[in-house]
Amino acid sequence: MKRHLLLSLSLLTAACGPSYGMRVPDTLVKKLPYETRIELLEAENDLALAIDRVDEADNEVNRARDNIRRAKSRQEAAEDEEDRAPDASSREVAQLAIAESESRVEYLRAHQRLNVGLREVEQLALRCAFARFELARLTAARKAKVQGSERLEPKEFEEQVSECEAAVKEQRANLGGDTKEAQAAKEAWEAKKAALAKKTFDARASPYVENL
């Protein structure tokens, strides 16, 4: 955990650039007494959780990508079934299956757009956690009167945190449209899925219906 956190910190520092990347020199932190370093654990844990949330957001994007691939395969299979349908009833089921699979792909794509937006929010939130961690390091260094810490201005570090958190709030608010679009697409898919399930009598047993 500690090693993963330190590695992620170094990668984050390189990626942040000028955006919320103001740091307290490690040379100052190394001078902290042990009991003061303990006080940094809460900020460190907050940073570790933010890293985990980014990892989970990445996983969600990857899972959705796999779901879209499977859904497109099911759509192709349904189209093949329509071509092979021996009678009108079978053809109707196949057509319902095509409509359901097309709607499913549309929903998954809409949901993926939301997933990507959420991942960007979590990536920015990680920068905020990094900024809070640096503020905690500075607070600890000044509390312990570490030489050199007096040259760093706490207000600048506080403003870094405030600006980042405001940016996260704005970015989350901007996802409202994607959230509504994904919900509307899901409802449309569920309606098509229900119609197919009704035609095939039992959705749980139907080879055409797959739940998410």
Mean pLDDT of the region 160-164: 96
Is residue 78 scored above 90 in pLDDT?
A: no
pTM: 0.81
Q: Per-residue pLDDT tens for 98-126? A: 999 999 999 999 999 999 999 999 999 99
Spatial CB neighbours of 73, under 8 Å, sequence gap ≥ 6: none
Q: How far apart (Å, rounded) are the C-alpha atoms in residues 57 and 72?
A: 23
The candidate with the shortest Cα–Cα distance to 13, out of 24, 29, 2, 1, is 24
Query: 15: pLDDT confidence band, cut at 50, 70 and 90?
Result: very low
DSSP 141-196: HHHTT-TTGGGS-HHHHHHHHHHHHHHHHHHHHTTHHHHHHHHHHHHHHHHHHHHH
**Which position has the higher pLDDT, 206 or 169?**
169
Mean pLDDT of the region 51-79: 93
60-69, 76-85, 134-143: the lowest-pLDDT one: 76-85
Amino acid 85: pLDDT: 79
1-5, 29-33, 188-192, 201-205: the lowest-pLDDT one: 1-5
The b/e string for 14-50 (b: 16+ C-beta within 10 A; e otherwise) is eebeeebbbbbeeebbeebeeebeeebeebbebbbeb
Arithmetic mean of pLDDT over the chain: 86
Q: How far apart (Å, rounded) are the C-alpha atoms in residues 125 and 44?
A: 14
3-state secondary structure of 25: coil
Mean pLDDT of the region 156-183: 96
Q: Per-residue pLDDT tens for 84-102? A: 878 888 888 888 989 999 9
